[in-house]
Amino acid sequence: MKFVAKRLSRLWIVLPLLAVLAQPAAALRFPSISIHVTNPPGQEYYLDLLLRNHKSPDLPTHGDPYGSDITYREDMVALLRSYEQEGWYATYFYSGKDDFNGQLTAADYQVLQNGEPANDHYFSGYDAGMPEAFRIILVTSHGEVRVTPAIRTNGRTELRVLYDWASGKASIPDLSQAPWVYAVFAVAVLLAPRLFVRYIMRLPLRPAVPFLLAINLPCAALLSLILHLALFPLGLAKTLFLTLPVVPLSYVAEVVYIRIRKPDDTRAQMAAAFAGAALCAVLLVVLLPALYNHFTGTHPQKMIRQYDT
């Protein structure tokens, strides 16, 4: 019994670190919006965000808030500024180092690719946080201007937008209804913690993998099916209520297998089964809200069709 307790003690040492690492990666980053322009105009262009301020903005900086020597064309800047109306203001010209801002051209951030500027534009916030909504404005050297309707961030801290200049559409890649996403999520939540626990307790991994797969793959299929059918129609709370019983189901199956097989180190195997199931439940509770938060901003009924210029 002392030997089993000694093995489990290794797990409790690393659990706090694992809990930190299990938090959504977005929580460890500055809020950011990246915009990839497809079919870009065959001429020089500026891309900026329009944010809606609840108060009058500070005086425009008219210069790079990061202190570079970039000089922008005044006629194109005037086009950007001409769309400051109804409380919407150009991000770049009313921002400082601690606000949500970015650069007007992708080349400000990236090296030239095949002699042409890259088409990825980045905006981020330090103390300002993520805006509730924004609009994309793009102006060309020939005087053409396109502005999208307001795009809501839906509480997300990281957003990637695809902007097609040819069609004038802004969209957000949607994976919320892809079955493989839920399948990968379910397998990772159910299987990875159990392998991790056995590794920490120095139990043999190779003989355990076949029966862990045989037990957890059917449970992962059930979990992914529940997620696919329930996550958006029923919401997060009800989906958690439906998915959590899958973890004790997989635990019972593992315990039954251990009882039938009767390995030499039965106590350690049973302790590993319990600790692995507990860790599965923790990861499900921690990671499912992150998955839901990510997908609520990309659900096709809320996004994609709204942002034609």
Q: Which of 71-80, 82-91, 110-119, 167-176 has the lowest mean pLDDT?
A: 110-119
Identity at 286, one-letter amino acid code:
V
Looking at residue 207, its pLDDT comes to 79
Does 277 score more than 60 pLDDT? yes
Spatial CA neighbour of 176 closest among 291, 57, 260, 262: 291
pLDDT > 90: percent of the chain: 20
pLDDT, mean over the chain:
76
Q: Which of 46-55, 74-83, 251-260 has the lowest mean pLDDT?
A: 46-55
Task: Show the 3-state SS of 125-162.
Answer: CCCCCCCCEEEEEEEECCCCEEECCCEECCCCCEEEEE
Does 302 score more than 60 pLDDT? no
Mean pLDDT of 4-15: 49
Looking at residue 289, its pLDDT comes to 84
Q: How far apart are alpha carbons 250 and 229 in whole angstroms?
A: 20
Q: Which of 70-84, 108-122, 187-201 has the lowest mean pLDDT?
A: 108-122
Looking at residue 308, its pLDDT comes to 47
Q: How far apart are alpha carbons 249 and 237 in whole angstroms?
A: 20
Q: Which residue has the tokens 């809020």?
A: 31
Q: Which of 9-23, 87-101, 220-234, 241-255 has the lowest mean pLDDT?
A: 9-23
Looking at residue 284, its pLDDT comes to 92
Residue 154 backbone zone (phi > 0: left; psi -120 to 50: alpha; other: beta): left
**pTM here?**
0.56
End-to-end CA gap in the chain: 68
Looking at residue 28, its pLDDT comes to 43
Mean pLDDT of 7-13: 49
Q: Which of 16-20, 29-33, 215-219 has the lowest mean pLDDT?
A: 16-20
Q: Which whole-number Å values give the CA distances from 81 to 60, 62, 112, 234, 239, in the listed order?
A: 10, 11, 27, 44, 46
Does 27 score more than 70 pLDDT? no
Looking at residue 217, its pLDDT comes to 92
Q: Is 298 exposed, middle or buried (0-12, 13-18, 19+ CB in 10 A)?
A: buried
pLDDT tens for each residue of 208-219: 888 889 989 999
pLDDT tens for each residue of 239-262: 899 999 999 999 999 999 888 887
Q: Output 284 or 17, whichever has higher pLDDT.
A: 284
Q: Output 148 or 125, whichever has higher pLDDT.
A: 148
Contacts of 104 (CB under 8 A, 6+ apart): 46, 47, 48, 72, 80, 92
Identity at 78, one-letter amino acid code:
A
pLDDT tens for each residue of 174-204: 666 678 889 999 999 999 999 999 888 888 8
Looking at residue 25, its pLDDT comes to 41
